[in-house]
Amino acid sequence: MDPESRLSALRDFCAERLGPQLAARYVDLARPGFALTAAENPGEAAGHSRFGGRAMLEPGTPWPTCDGFPLSLIAVLDADTLSPWLGDVLPAGTGLLNFFCLDAESEQHDPVSYDLMNKYGHYEVEVSSVIPARFAHAVETDPPARSSVFEPIPWAAKPGFAFPDTWDPAWNGFDVGPDADDMARAMPGNYVENQLTEWSERPGALDSEDMAFGRPQFPTGSSPMVPFGKDPNRYHHLLQLASYEEWSIGGDGGWMHWAIPTDALRIGDFGQAVPTPDIW
């Protein structure tokens, strides 16, 4: 099913439970994305999308570092393979997106990385990087010494639409309609979700621990931790990862996220991407 047909079915589903006007406002919050799962065979893989492995970089691209210490390749998204579902979210020819982070937790981590993470913290741009590579020019690149390399897990990508979670600032100012009470106006996300029975049956709605694009989920009840003073509603979600057997972001647990200003995404300026993790 194409994106427009899937979105129309989702709108009809919501209209039956919310009424057409509230459903239309709710569905306007939906963003196209993908649920990522381990591909069971090569034919299911979404191009070169995968957790771990080696970076896919254009020759001559500098390896990203934090104070001179190399970051580790965490994931690759094959944006060219995913782009038909995303519409105008991505500029044409984005290619491959390499997601790097300072590995301070895995069994491979170098003690220096732990010191650097204590210096900067998980939310600072110094500990993360997103580097694009044109598909025709990208080559698998060996990492420098002291950078972790995780066993690659190719991803299958199920397309759909992601909605903001309950505490996302996307709900700020959301119109719940004239008949809603003060509690509904104060917590519009909860109000709408309570009205939508058979939540798991929403056609095309994404619900996954690992997700590309769409909108982030924050189990701690938080919201995207973008740089201080910036409006999170002006950022677009890039990638959400739960912990893997070889890798986690630290704390007692957590999900890693990357986000980027929407204006920067439209022109392919991935140097403005930032880490927005949810740590508990």
Q: Say if residues 221 and 167 touch (Cβ distance below 8 Å).
A: yes
Whole-number Å distance between alpha carbons of 22 and 67: 49
CA distance 137 to 94: 12
Q: Digits of tens for pLDDT over the chain (280 positions)? A: 688 888 899 999 999 999 999 999 999 999 999 999 999 988 899 999 999 999 999 999 999 999 999 999 999 999 999 999 998 899 989 999 999 999 999 999 999 999 999 999 999 999 999 999 999 999 999 999 999 999 999 999 999 999 998 888 999 989 988 888 889 899 998 899 888 877 667 788 888 899 999 999 888 777 778 888 899 999 999 999 998 888 888 666 789 999 999 999 999 999 999 999 988 7
DSSP 3-state of 119: helix
Instruction: Give the pLDDT of residue 202.
Output: 76
Given this model, what pLDDT does residue 250 score? 67
The model's pTM is: 0.94
Question: Does residue 273 contact residue 130 with C-beta atoms inside 8 Å?
Answer: yes
Buried b (16+ CB within 10 A) or exposed e, 191-200: bbeebbeeee
Q: Is 155 exposed, middle or buried (0-12, 13-18, 19+ CB in 10 A)?
A: buried
Asked if 243 and 74 count as a contact pair (C-beta separation under 8 A), the reply is no
Q: Are strands 31-38 and 96-101 parallel, antiparallel or unpaired?
A: unpaired
According to CATH, the topology of domain 3-279 is: Hypothetical protein YwqG fold (2.30.320)
- 96-101 and 235-241 strand pairing: unpaired
**What are the extents of the domains in the chain?**
3-279
Residues in Cβ contact with 30 at an 8 Å cutoff, skipping those fewer than 6 apart:
7, 10, 161, 162, 163, 205
Give dist(CA 178, CA 155) in Å, integer. 44
- β-strand 274-275 against 278-279: which pairing, if any? unpaired
Rounded Cα distance between 222 and 131, Å, is: 27
**Using an 8 Å Cβ cutoff, are 266 and 91 in contact?**
yes
Tokens of 174: 């959301």
Helix (H, G, I), strand (E, B) or coil at 275: strand
Give SS3 for 141: strand
